[in-house]
Homo-oligomer: A and B are copies of this chain.
């Protein structure tokens, strides 16, 4: 049975300090979501494969962790499919459930399933793990935490704006002023595609745009030229695409530089958004970016992406957008949604790199009770109970080891105080408190110790 133990590649153990820092970020995000009136839900890690399957096309299914049916059901393995190298059917024959790969598909399932218990618009947030059978690499994990807020059941552009406010509020509270939000609109990308002459394969066009951050705009242009025929205006359009711009300039481009006309609904929406942005001086940097695509297929309206300026390569720290048809797959129609997601792990890395974790988030252990033997400990056990009821964290050293060993332990674990009750303290009916940061000692009557901490 003996083995060299390790966690699976692409997963992580979180020690107490790392966990505290993660919680600091999570609590910040949760408090912002809550302050905008979102309520939290949780859904199971496991979903039916029929829920997860084909939600992001074939590419998405590759990332799905499939769970083998248990018990007798394994006997139904479709060996013929395996032999015909039809691995999808083979997997389907032995797997009915998978691990969710995001929180959006489960939300769509939740909203459809519980539509009669929900009053719309439904503002929910969800902070849970997701799993992707992706090749593990630096900053990319197979199990990671997403923090999502979505509103289902309203098309109001106020929500597009609210998402910008929430991004801003989270990163400001985290003191990450190194961050900017890029914005684009799927309908505008549609117009661009048609203007260039791409009428089919819009998805492929998006996939190429999506790579601009990695390959650069010129290579993206070449790739489009090589994949599509009969293109127009591509140099002009790509000249425009390569600039980041203000909402006003984005709007003007849309009105003046395309032969294809944007419809009034789209123009009104962008106009309203532009006004709301201009009116709010609490927002972080916002840039409109005609090249932003967001790979995932379900977006239909405005799309967002948040990046770190100092650490752009780590990828997006957050993103989101509006989607129209997500709940349709679950039989619930006409239910527009908009949502954003924070990537906890990347935010953690950026805060760590910039040294921005608050100093008070540390592995501070509180009081260590030195063990002089059970006969002493039993005398102070109700005192220890009182300390705990009064909110102190008290670690009774379990073994009667040499004092030097016990104090080495308190050093290594960064305790604030040692509580000392041995034979001389017993003789004096008192208890000694050593401040381990300063070395100062105080001796008290039992009843004074709690008072001391209350001060």
Q: Name A's B-contacting residues (CB within 8 A).
A: 1-8, 11-16, 19-20, 34-37, 39-48, 50-51, 54, 62-68, 70-71, 74-75, 77, 79, 82-83, 87, 90-91, 94-97, 99, 108-110, 112-114, 117, 119, 121, 123-124, 129, 131, 133, 142-143, 151, 154-159, 162, 165, 169, 272, 275-276, 279-282, 328-331, 363, 365-368, 371, 374, 377-378, 381-382, 385, 388, 391-399, 409, 412-413
Contact = CB atoms under 8 A, between A and B. Distances in A.
Contacts of A381: 276, 279-280
Interface of A is mostly: mixed
A330 to B, nearest CB: 4
Given A74-B90, A90-B74, A388-B35, A43 B156 contact: no
Contacts of A64: 70
A13 B395 contact: no
B12 A392 contact: no
B382 A280 contact: yes
Contacts of A47: 7-8
A413 to B, nearest CB: 6
A143 B65 contact: no
Nearest to A50: B3
Contacts of A11: 44-46
Given A74-B90, A158-B396, 17 more contacts: A3-B330, A8-B46, A11-B44, A12-B44, A16-B124, A19-B41, A34-B393, A37-B368, A46-B131, A46-B142, A66-B68, A66-B70, A67-B99, A75-B87, A162-B398, A275-B374, A282-B382
Nearest to A409: B119
B279 A378 contact: yes
A51 B158 contact: no
Given A62-B70, A119-B409, A388 B36 contact: yes
A54 B378 contact: no
A328 B2 CA distance: 7
B398 A46 contact: no
Nearest to A64: B70
B42 A3 contact: no
A68 B69 CA distance: 10
Contacts of A395: 36-37, 123
Contacts of A68: 65-68, 91, 94-95
B378 A276 contact: yes
A113 B2 contact: no
B70 A67 contact: no
Contacts of A74: 87, 90-91
Nearest to A121: B398
A5 B331 contact: yes
Given A280-B381, A329-B1, A331-B4, A37 B366 contact: yes
B62 A41 contact: no
Contact of A394 (B37, B40, B112, B272): B37
A118 to B, nearest CB: 9
- Which among A15, A143, A280, A367 has the highest number of chain B CB atoms within 10 Å? A15
A156 B400 CA distance: 9
B40 A19 contact: yes
Nearest to A45: B143
A62 B71 contact: yes
**Which of A6, A91, A155, A329 is the most central at the interface, judged by chain B CB atoms within 10 Å of its CB?**
A6
Contact of A119 (B157, B159, B329, B412): B412
